[in-house]
Chains A and B, each alone.
Chain A
Amino acid sequence: MKRFLRFLAAINFTIFSATSAPASEVTVMHGWPAQQGAAFEKIVRAFMHEHPGVEVIVEVVGRDRPAFLATRLAAGNPPDLTPHPWLGRQTEWAQNNQIVCLDGLVDPSELLDALRPFGYVDGKLYGLFVFPNIKSLVWYNKGQFARKRYRPPVSWDAMIALSDKIVADGGTPWAIGLESGAASGWPGSDWIEDIMLRAAGPQLYDKWVQHEIPWTHPSVRRAFQYFGQIVLNPDYVFGGPTGALTTNFGDSPSALFTQPPRALMHRQATFIQGFIRTQNRGLVAGKDYDIFPFPPIDPSAVEPVPILVGGDVVNCFARRPEVIEFAKFLISKEAQEIWIKELGELSSNKRTNPALFTNPVTRKAWDILSDATISRYDASDMMPGAVGTGSFWSGVLDFVSGIPLNRVLEKIEESAQDAYSSN
């Protein structure tokens, strides 16, 4: 009986203590897979350690997060904040007053110059850039390059000349993988964005994103043609166009590290290093593989070469001080350094200690990112969904599978005219 009473008291105590603890909760929703998720958990724990009164509840939505979030928003029940890569949504939410304007609440001056602008909508700060990726990189098999005396090309023409040389030497220059389940086609859209940014320049790039120039515009057509020069050439791409269409983006770079290598170059963002390392154990960064910046195309274009970036912005759906505090923490040196220590990825904070990038390839990427003055965000993530994640991606797949370019562009243009209109 006594024992039972003690048991009851214990229950009472837990209930009591649970209700009496400072009940400030912050809910955050993310969609990262296990490894990044674990790193984020560490950031969350560090925050809760510094703010004992706040409990951060992490919600992981791995699949169909846009649909899930849209439903929650429509129901008036969004998480307090969420990091996400959909800049187009940020604009929409800001214009509908669904996210908090952070002007005066958060000081973004520690964010890298190349990344800070992406948090602004109509001149006001809404988003904080975290966990960036540089997309304008070509990964290559350094050992093979050294043996064959190939040098990383510094212009598009040199890159094509190198590709021809590799073919003449009996090799295959490129590994391209466009398959990505529901998002198939996106690696190709990255190629076209990078080319567009270089061949047409940042101003036309912005106009293209805003649909101020049509998809049938010569500059867009030229970007597709440049991409086609590589992807449609069966000698250039391992497996030819069909191989590119059926190979998963994550498996694709492994073709660089087979014995003998089946391809030598792979254009992809910094995140791909994780895939390369887990699928090909024992590779030494900077010795077996390395990166070079995706080269400039228009030789007459002004220096410096712009970079294409991806990554997440954090938007707050609630204005409570603990939510803002957590958002601030996410862009802090401390939180960003946890991320890079755990994952070997890049940081968005200027004050990051460069010595933390122990991997020479990541260090090289960090130098490119922190030195960059002209940057643009992934266009497909800024366009309306029906174009950016719809007709653009399927257009890339159509193009690579052999549909004439005119038809591909007209089809995208038709969907764009419809998607950019207000109704």
Chain B
Amino acid sequence: MIHTQRWIVWLFVGPAVFLILFFLTYPTLMTIVRSFYGKGTQIFGSTATLVGLSNWKFVFTNPTMLAALRNNALWTIVFTICTVTCGLLLAVLLDRVRYEKVVKSIIFIPAAISMVGAAVIWKFVYAYRPVDLPQIGVVNALMVACGKEPVGWLIERPWINNLALIVVGIWIWTGFCMVIFSAAYKSIPEDIIEAARTDGANEWQIFGKITLPLMTPTIAVVTTTMIVQVLKIFDIVFVMTHGAYDTEVIASRMYKEMFSFYNYGRASAIAVVLLFLIAPVMIFNIRRFTRQEEKCA
């Protein structure tokens, strides 16, 4: 009897375990091992030799890598704060207007555009042409209309170009945050808010003492999702500047080391760094999720 049960258990769990081992665990371990080997496209063998920690040293000392780490930090802070804050404000404020659906749809549209598509669009938005020529980019056309000189938005380092790229990310993801927050906001029971109003609370107090605490789980989930998204940021940078002018991020550097410079060892080390940066956020997310499950059960 017990025997049969075990057999059935493996029948159900087996495929999932196999897939995870083969497609996740094995590649992850191989990537970690490969990060201690030198350049070349072979996984192991004649062209790849053991180099110890030199790939890791590169990751934490090379100036371009340091710029990439700094930019990722900048992305993480600015992008996460802006998407979450804007998403939350929009969700709460738009709940009160008649044309809510229309506005929310418009703000949500960018989430449906591919990252590469969005990057190409914004490359045009930021386009720069010399003063004599008509500006084809919206931003510089406005600058010129206001009597100012056009700006090379993607070239001015280190702040303007990086922030210009981050704005693209915010444009894409704010709609997503807003939709999730909106759902959470609408699920707050009306009677609690009514009761607070009856007790004389103003709108700010309601927002600070009722809405926010009730939405905390959602905010945590959205924030961590955004952090995971932004740590992996690649497409926008790759399409718009290709990491030039100090706009490099971790993932774009990883791609270059792997596919342009054929240094699989170094690319692996960078990949592992990215994994270690993302892992704690994922663990936090999963913990929170299971705790909630327990609460529900």
Binding site for B on A (CB under 8 A): 64, 66-67, 70-71, 73-74, 96, 181-182, 184-185, 238-240, 242-243, 245-247, 262, 384-386, 389-390, 394, 397-398, 401, 411, 414, 418-419, 422-423
Contacts and interface: CB of A to CB of B under 8 A. Distances in A.
Q: Which 7 residue pairs spanning A and B have beta carbons closest together?
A: A239-B130, A67-B259, A423-B38, A386-B261, A246-B128, A243-B130, A242-B152
23 contacts: A67-B258, A67-B260, A70-B262, A74-B42, A242-B155, A243-B129, A245-B152, A245-B155, A246-B129, A246-B152, A247-B129, A247-B130, A262-B133, A385-B261, A386-B260, A386-B263, A390-B260, A401-B155, A414-B62, A414-B63, A419-B261, A423-B39, A423-B54
Most A CB contacts (10 A, CB to CB) among B39, B62, B261 go to B261
Given A243-B130, A397-B245, A73 B41 contact: yes
Contacts of B62: 414
Contact of B130 (A64, A238, A423): A238
A184 B242 contact: yes
Interface in B58-94: 58, 62-63
Contacts of A185: 244
Interface string B120-153: 0000000111111100000000000000000010
Interface in B217-263: 238, 242-245, 256-263
A423 B51 contact: yes
B260 A423 contact: no
B77 to A, nearest CB: 25
A411 B63 contact: yes
Given A67-B260, A96-B47, A385-B260, A246 B132 contact: no
Interface residues of B, number: 35
Contact of B259 (A70, A239, A418): A70
Contacts of B63: 411, 414
A423 B49 contact: yes
Given A242-B155, A385-B260, A386-B263, A401 B245 contact: yes
Contacts of B259: 64, 66-67, 70
Contact of B262 (A243, A385, A422): A385
Contacts of B260: 66-67, 385-386, 389-390
Given A96-B47, A390-B260, A401-B245, A70 B128 contact: no
B49 A70 contact: no
A390 B41 contact: no
